[in-house]
Structure 1
Amino acid sequence: MSEDIISCEEVIERLFAYLDSELDDLTRAEIDRHLRRCHDCFSRKEFETRLREKIAASGTEKAPDRLRQRVEALLGNR
């Protein structure tokens, strides 16, 4: 059985869809195989995964009441 070969360029082009689970099972499996073999693409995937985690975690703190009041006042003055 011959293994389908997907290029690094194709992996990078589809990386965000891969991370968002928007690919069909066959394409996802091809990328999984590529990531197991290719250190550069695996590193890029890990970077993007960690970046997404940091961004998601950064929006969890509540703004201080004073800041919220200032923003509301500015928006009310339009």
Structure 2
Amino acid sequence: MNPREPSCEEVIERLFDYLDRELDHRQADDIERHLSRCRDCFTRAEFEKRLRARVEAAGTVKAPTRLRHRIRDLLDQFDD
């Protein structure tokens, strides 16, 4: 039996679950099969993967001292 390939709409709807590895094996295989055939969905998935990687990498960079002091000053204003 040949599994039904999901539509573009279904792939986009489940893309974040796919990228988070929250789908079962069959569902992930269906999406991977679709991505291998659909350039638009593949491009969207690649964009989301790269965006996630950049956001993750940005979270490891320490804020400049001047910015940290400005934020601390703003927070201190609310503690008064």
2:26 aligned with 1:26: yes
What's the counterpart of residue 36 of structure 1?
A: 36
Runs of 5+ consecutive residues of structure 2 not aligned to the other structure:
none
Which segment is superposed worse, 68-77 or 11-20? Answer: 68-77
Runs of 5+ consecutive residues of structure 1 not aligned to the other structure:
none
2:63 aligned with 1:63: yes
Question: What's the RMSD between the two structures over aligned residues?
Answer: 1.3
Separation in 1, partners of 2:38, 2:32: 10
Runs of 4 or more consecutive aligned structure 1 residues displaced over 2 Å after TM superposition: 64-67
Shift of 1:35: 0.9
Give 1:72's aligned amino acid: R
Instruction: Give me the TM-score of the superposition, normalised by structure 1.
Output: 0.86
The number of residue pairs the alignment matches comes to: 78
Calculate percent identity across the aligned residue pairs: 58
Separation in 2, partners of 1:66, 1:37: 49
Give 2:56's aligned amino acid: A
Instruction: Give me the TM-score of the superposition, normalised by structure 2.
Output: 0.84
Shift of 1:67: 2.4
